[in-house]
Structures are given as C-alpha cells and as structure tokens.
C-alpha cells in the first residue's frame, strides 16, 4: 500500500511538472521602434544609462573603505609594523 502511494505521488508530481510547461508561456517581444520620431534614426531601444560615473564612484568608495581599514589597523594598539 505504501509503495502504491509513493508511485502515485511520483506520477502526479511528474504530470504536474510537464503540464505546467504547456501552460506557462514567455512574454511576447517588444514592438519594433517607430519609423518616424525624433532624431536621425528615430527612437532606438535600449541603452542610455551611463555607467562610467557610477564606476568611478564605486572605485572611490572602495579606496576610501580600504584606507579606513588600513588607518584603523595602524592605529590599533596591537598593530605590528606594516
């Protein structure tokens, strides 16, 4: 009896797994850009977020964090010569 329920649970789990694949579909692709609009080649999709300034900010903060860690390490009374 216990073996029967184990086989039934496995079969139902596999049936549910395979039935979900047929029900779930992906999102349709975005519409193409308009043929008329502002600019020379109309509106182009994607891009526009500058990452250069954020990268300098991130590197600067990492340098400040490292400098603070070194300062704290040298300032501690148990610090050896670095």
In angstroms, the CA 55 to CA 59 distance is 6
Q: Which residues contact 35 (CB under 8 A, 6 or more apart)?
A: 42
In angstroms, the CA 69 to CA 74 distance is 9
pLDDT score for 78: 74
For residue range 54-80, what is the model confidence (pLDDT) as tens digits? Answer: 778 888 899 999 999 999 988 887 756
- pTM exceeds cut of 0.75: no
């Amino acid at each position: 009896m216990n073996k029967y329920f184990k086989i039934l649970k496995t079969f139902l789990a596999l049936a549910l797994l395979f039935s979900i694949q047929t029900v779930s579909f992906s999102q349709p692709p975005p519409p193409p850009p308009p043929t008329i609009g502002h600019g020379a080649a109309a509106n182009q999709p994607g891009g526009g977020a500058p990452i250069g300034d954020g990268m300098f900010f991130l590197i600067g903060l990492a340098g400040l964090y490292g400098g603070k860690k070194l300062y704290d390490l040298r300032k501690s009374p148990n610090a050896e010569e670095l």
